[in-house]
Structure 1
Amino acid sequence: MKKTVESEQAIYNLYDRPPLLPFIGLSLQHLFSMFGATILVPLLVGLDPAVALFASGVGTLIHLLTTHGRVPAYMGSSFAFIIPMVSMMKTVGYSAVGQGVVSVGLCYLVIALIVAKAGTAWIDKIFPPEVVGPVIMVIGLSLAQTAAQSGTEINGQYDMRAFIVAGVTLLVTIFCNFYLKGFLGLIPVLLGIIFGYICALLFGLVDFSPVMQADWFSLPHFDFFFAGSAKHAAHFYPMAMLTMMPLVLVTLSEHLGHLLVLKKVTGHDFFKDPGLSKTLAGDGLASVFAGLVGGPALTSYGENIGVMQLSRVFSVWVIAGAAVFASIFAFIGKLAALIRSVPGAVTGGVGLMLYGVIAAAGIQVMVDNRIDYGKKRNLLIAGPVLVVGIGNFHLQLLSEVDFSGVAIATLLGIILNLILPKESK
């Protein structure tokens, strides 16, 4: 394997393989961090969460293989396609959704081919530090409201119990990360989730009945090659593809943003090694697989990047371990039900830390590159980007195509950087 730029503060770098006990703990930490969001998408759409979990695990392994094991990115269910998927599930079934998901993956593969031919020199031109910093901040802070709502509300109503549980989860995560050493110091997020879960139990926020009712072995409801829905006959749905394919622009901006965050966190330039074409192809193949087995489209997850930033563990082996655990847990009914029983107050408490850590990485980009906000140009780029992204100033077309505030903010930053003169008058 190629050597990477070593991060001075890293406990385990990209290609380091931790010993067995830390390896298991660190992998489970990543699994718990992405689990809530990954199963929330299929629950909203009407898909089997176990299939989504399995698809995310195998999709992550596919991404790792495609990138030659050089990118520590976990592939989870994408929220960008929820609206069209919900609409198609109600009217047609998974045959249309699956074809749309596969078309999303194929779009990525086409873009990857173009990038492989055209190169990546354009990235430095459209993503200088004065754009990268605010965009990374937006990626983290755009999720702040979600974390805050999960940590203060139960069934849409403010609940002091949720506030206390989320607060305990957050404080324990901070304490463990700052004070604990050795193995326990490597898994602050997992420890925060465990203590938060115990606190939620004491407040009666955990429903154990699904765990007791679940079987030890449970086969996910796979929908292979779109044949399990629409009266068990797979038809061709071109409108499904035309509806979902434009949203690739949204996830593409997320993809670039996450690579920029990973570059900052790990000290390794993934745009050059293994190359943007490889990372895009990995995303594409992961979504193609998900669509063929009955899952939603996949994308890299900021939650897992936050875990890496917090734990200083960047090992691709740990990401692979989380993917293997996810694939196995999809077939173990009681384990999957136990993880699903983690209340939103706990995941919200963890999110208060993880999303903030991502935003802080954006600030660090600007500090390291000495971006001068006394200059009008830099101020006029960062200001709109932050407000548009954090406020979710989104663009909705035809009631099914919704470009998120993060995507609009990224595009706005690129355009402003290209049209504003370097020296303001």
Structure 2
Amino acid sequence: MAKEFHNDDVVLDIKDKPKALPWLGLSIQHLFTMFGATVLVPILVGIDPGIALVSSGLGTLVYLTVTKGKIPAYLGSSFAFIAAMKLLMSTDGYPAIAQGAITTGLVYLIVSLVVKKIGSAWMDKILPPIVVGPVIMVIGLGLAANAANNAMFNDGQYDYKFLLVALVTMGITIFFNMFLKGFLGLIPILLGIIAGYLFALLMGIVDTQPIIDAAWFALPNFEIPFVNYEPKFYLSAIITMAPIAFVTMTEHIGHLMVLNKLTKRNFFQDPGLNRTLLGDGLAQIVAGLVGGPPVTSYGENIGVLAITRVHSVFVIGGAAVLAVILGFVGKLSALILSIPNPVISGISFILFGVIAASGLKILIENKIDFDKKKNLLIASVILVIGIGGLYVEAGTFTLSAMALATVLGIALNLILPETSRSEKA
């Protein structure tokens, strides 16, 4: 029996289990990183944020189980479904959203069965380094403008306090990452968030009243079929949300490409794309059954993996368990929810940049020749469309900029000849 690969270049590899205290700190770091985005989605839609925390934790545990504990990915609330969910909430209420979430999960399961039947060897052909590298850069830089805006604007007005908090948070986090060692050197993101939060308190931009008002124990408003509502067939929910599953699948594959690079593995082969899609799909079904929004893997948490070089699935699993617990602790939820946007932005400048740099590293390591017009054109289209934010919208269906950039990059790679006529001359 062949010895299982172990990446000795990282602090903790995928199957390495940390000691108790470091384990807790590392898991809290991932929890803080995903919290803001995970609770923002239900807030925008009108769902209880506590349910989103519980569903993200349960979904992540399901994903880790299905993928045999081989992929260190955290699943949080998906932004891709916001427009569709808001529309369904205004017409039919949460039961329709739940049915849509379960349907998207079923779409993943069907595609998973197809992939299991035909294999994933085709991935190497449609996703060569010249496509993968720029797509990963788009994943990192696609939300750069949002991070910058959240660091500058307070209710639409330019705010120097916000900017200062964001830059101080970023600077402190960089300092922690470069100069701390031992256990503290493993949690620079968590320490950066804490330091940024304390500085934001000094600057007077943190609202602590919700923390004071929150109860210690708060049962989330679960929406469970046959318990909280009688389910019925919503054709509009299926038509509205099912197609978006193919958009999030693109993000799913993109995040796997980043993780492949970080961990020096090929998750398309082991545990297999069919298992990763199955895990994601089942996680979405679980979210729909308890009352949460659909979930997807988070680039922010991948950024934490890259910076800390701690890839342990035990740390990810710990964050998932903490998220479930946190869904019932009102004051802790309120505390994390009170972290102001510029603090998150200061951290995001680093996390998103690290992901983008991973894409650039792929291009360098594969010695991509940009004197070849084909390579130059593919990278140009992916980067400008993906980072520029060009998207396709048809009714409630939206093909995100990242998904559109990926689709066009794949198409150009398959269609364009290796050498242009001018290069042949």
TM-score range, shorter chain: over 0.9
**Aligned pair 1:26/2:22, yes or no?**
no
CA contact (8 A) 1:43 1:49 kept: yes
Distance 1:149 1:233, change over 3 A: same
CA contact (8 A) 1:197 1:346 kept: yes
The 10-residue stretch of structure 1 (1-10 or 53-62) with the greater mean CA deviation from structure 2 = 1-10
**Aligned pair 1:148/2:182, yes or no?**
no
TM-score normalised according to structure 1 size: 0.97
Aligned to 1:367: 364
Give the number of aligned pairs. 421
Aligned to 2:65: 65
**Aligned pair 1:406/2:402, yes or no?**
yes
Question: Is the partner of 1:80 in helix, strand or coil?
Answer: helix
Instruction: Quote the sequence identity (%).
Output: 55
The 10-residue stretch of structure 1 (5-14 or 38-47) with the greater mean CA deviation from structure 2 = 5-14
Once the two structures are superposed, the pairs formed by residues 71-86 of structure 1 within 5 Å of their partners are 71-86=71-86
CA contact (8 A) 1:307 1:354 kept: yes
Once the two structures are superposed, the pairs formed by residues 20-419 of structure 1 within 5 Å of their partners are 20-225=20-225, 228=228, 232-398=229-395, 400-419=396-415
Distance 1:268 1:357 in 2: 19
Deviations 1:178-213 (A, max 9, x none): 111100000010011000000100011111111111
Q: CA deviation at 1:374?
A: 1.0
Q: CA deviation at 1:21?
A: 1.2
Distance 1:83 1:15 in 2: 38
Question: Is the partner of 2:398 in helix, strand or coil?
Answer: strand
Distance 2:226 2:178 in 1: 49
Q: CA deviation at 1:370?
A: 0.4
Question: Is the partner of 2:393 in helix, strand or coil?
Answer: strand
Deviations 1:207-259 (A, max 9, x none): 1111111111110000002764xxx4432101111111111121010000000
Q: What's the C-alpha RMSD, in Å, of the aligned pairs?
A: 1.2
| Partner AA of 1:417 in structure 2 | N
Task: Extract structure 1 runs of 4+ deviating beyond 6 A.
Answer: none
Deviations 1:80-116 (A, max 9, x none): 0100100110111001111000000000000000000
Deviations 1:112-140 (A, max 9, x none): 00000010000000000010000000001
Of 395, 418, 422, the residue aligned with 1:422 is 418
CA contact (8 A) 1:5 1:267 kept: no
Q: Which runs of 5+ in 1 are unaligned?
A: none
Question: Is the partner of 1:402 in helix, strand or coil?
Answer: strand
Question: Is the partner of 1:299 in helix, strand or coil?
Answer: strand
Distance 1:40 1:311 in 2: 25
Question: Is the partner of 1:217 in helix, strand or coil?
Answer: coil
Question: Is the partner of 1:182 in helix, strand or coil?
Answer: coil
